[in-house]
Amino acid sequence: MAQQRIKLAILDDYADIAKARFAGLSPKLEVDSFSATLNARTEHGRTALVDRLRDFTIVSTMRERTAFPREVLQELPKLKLLLTTGMKNASIDVDACRDLGISLVGTTAKPTATAKPTATAGYDTTNEMTWALILGLAKDVAGGDRRIKSTSQGWQDGLAQSLAGKTLGLVGLGRLGTQAAVTGKLGFGMDVICWSSSLTQDKADDAARSRGLPPDSFRVTASKKELFEKADVVSVHYVLSPRSKGIVGKEELEAMKEGALLVNTSRGPLIDEAALLDVLKAGRIGGVGLDVFDPEPLPSDSPWRSLEWGTGGTSPVLLSPHMGYVEDETMHSWYDQQAANVQRWLNGQELVRKI
């Protein structure tokens, strides 16, 4: 009798690096990869996702690309092992996994981010994307590149901004916010102000000390609005939750300085998109840099998919397709960890990093 095959689905592997890691684990493992993301927040998307996955026992997914609500999970009776990246994935119904007997396992950071002592311990490359967007806007990197390449005469047609001595405003001062604060302070000599709903000056001082900086290196503003009024650059570093959705809204955006820059590398819904589009269309701020959106990937008719931003009186817009954590060492490490857990599952061994 032929050995029964176990089917594993890889979702949202846009770089196509995962399949080889799973394919060699066992001859009884059949691996398929699906790069097109289905939107499980719609009825049509949920139906399509169930149709895609109904025959799979194992699913590898990337954090917060494909959603797995209870409505989907309960329609996948063959699903026994769900692999995600990171140890938190807001797009997966963890309680439903437990109720349905689906083992949910995650991954930890790449080795260079966890080994101690090391200068990179706890470091997240999202900080690099934050500053790539800030610098890209301040120096008009994409615009200059486009002008030079589009015509034989394209050259300078405006002025760049300097960051030295300017004020960096951080919405959130957790691990990623603190990394951005240190880069701004030490790299560009910026004054750093910060705000969150639970942030105190004592906590901000502790964050500074944790990175070898003196107290008062990061000053907590009395209000969220004050931060937006005073900052030359605002960067969002907040955890998305029902309470924080739209935490940057019309009032905050309209309070920004005329030439100020706004960057979001956290989560798209943290900023009220309609209010942001209104401000940008009116040319009210110096520009926005976005690595995150709602939904992702962007629909084909999204207003962000336009080459007209920065013309006709609108503000410049610099976009990245959620690349903050998508760097080679991290991605390869995550898939290596997923493959190792699949091998444990196939061998009947205890899984690690269970959620």
136-192 confidence digits (pLDDT tens): 999 999 999 999 999 899 999 889 999 999 999 999 999 999 999 999 999 999 999
Q: What is the dihedral of CA 56, 60, 63, 66, to 10 degrees?
A: -30
Specify burial of residue 48 (Cβ count, 10 A radius: 0-12, 13-18, 19+).
middle
Q: What is the pLDDT of residues 184-217, one digit of tens each?
A: 999 999 999 999 999 999 999 999 999 999 999 9
Query: What integer pLDDT is reported at residue 283 of this predicted model?
Result: 98
Radius of gyration, CA atoms only, the chain? 22
* pLDDT tens digits along 5-31: 899 999 999 999 999 999 889 999 999
Among the ranges given (103-117, 229-243, 284-298, 315-329), the one the predictor scored with the smallest mean pLDDT: 103-117
Q: 6-112+328-346 and 126-319: same fold?
A: yes
Q: Residue 122 above 80 pLDDT?
A: no
pLDDT tens for 68-105 read: 999 999 999 999 999 999 888 889 999 999 999 999 99
User: Is the per-residue pLDDT at 118 higher than 60?
Assistant: no
pTM: 0.91
Measured distance CA(259)–CA(167) in Å, rounded: 12
Q: Which residues of 205-225 are buried (b: 16+ CB within 10 A; e: fewer)?
A: bebbeeeebeeebbbbbeebe
Q: What CA–CA distance (Å, rounded) separates 5 from 210?
A: 51
| Separation between Cα atoms, residue 12 and residue 34, nearest integer Å | 6
Q: How far apart are CA 90 and CA 93, in angstroms?
A: 8
Q: Do 172 and 198 touch, CB atoms closer than 8 A? A: no
CB 302 within 8 A of CB 277: no
| φ, ψ (nearest 5 deg) of residue 24 | -90, 5
Q: In this structure, which topology does domain 126-319 adopt according to CATH? A: Rossmann fold (3.40.50)
Could you tell me which residues come within 8 angstroms of residue 301 by beta carbon, excluding any fewer than 6 positions away?
none
In angstroms, the Cα distances linking 36 to 10, 11, 52, 55, 299 are 11, 8, 11, 18, 12
Residues ≥6 apart with Cβ < 8 Å to 150: none
- Contact indicator for 263, 233 with CB cutoff of 8 Å: yes
The confidence band for 115, taking pLDDT boundaries of 50, 70 and 90, is low
How is the chain split into domains, by residue range? 6-112+328-346, 126-319
The share of the chain scoring above pLDDT 70, in percent, equals: 96
pLDDT of residue 112: 62
Which residue from 233, 245, 251, 173 is spatially nearest to 205, judged by alpha carbons?
Answer: 173
- Could you tell me the maximum CA-CA distance found in the chain, to the nearest angstrom? 74
Confidence (pLDDT) at 214: 97
CA distance 37 to 330: 21
Q: Which two tokens stand for residue 251?
A: 């009032």
Residue 1 pLDDT > 50: no
6-112+328-346 topology per CATH: Rossmann fold (3.40.50)
Q: For position 292, what pLDDT does the model report?
A: 97
What's the pLDDT tens digit per position in 266-318?
A: 999 999 999 999 999 999 999 999 999 999 999 999 999 999 999 999 999 99
User: Helices in the chain by DSSP H: which ranges?
Assistant: 19-23, 43-53, 70-73, 94-99, 111-114, 126-138, 141-150, 175-182, 188, 201-210, 224-230, 250-255, 273-281, 328-346
Q: Which residue has the tokens 């962000």?
A: 304
Q: What is the mean pLDDT of the chain?
A: 94
Measured CA to CA, the distance from residue 283 to residue 310 in angstroms comes to 8
The pLDDT assigned to 123 comes to 73
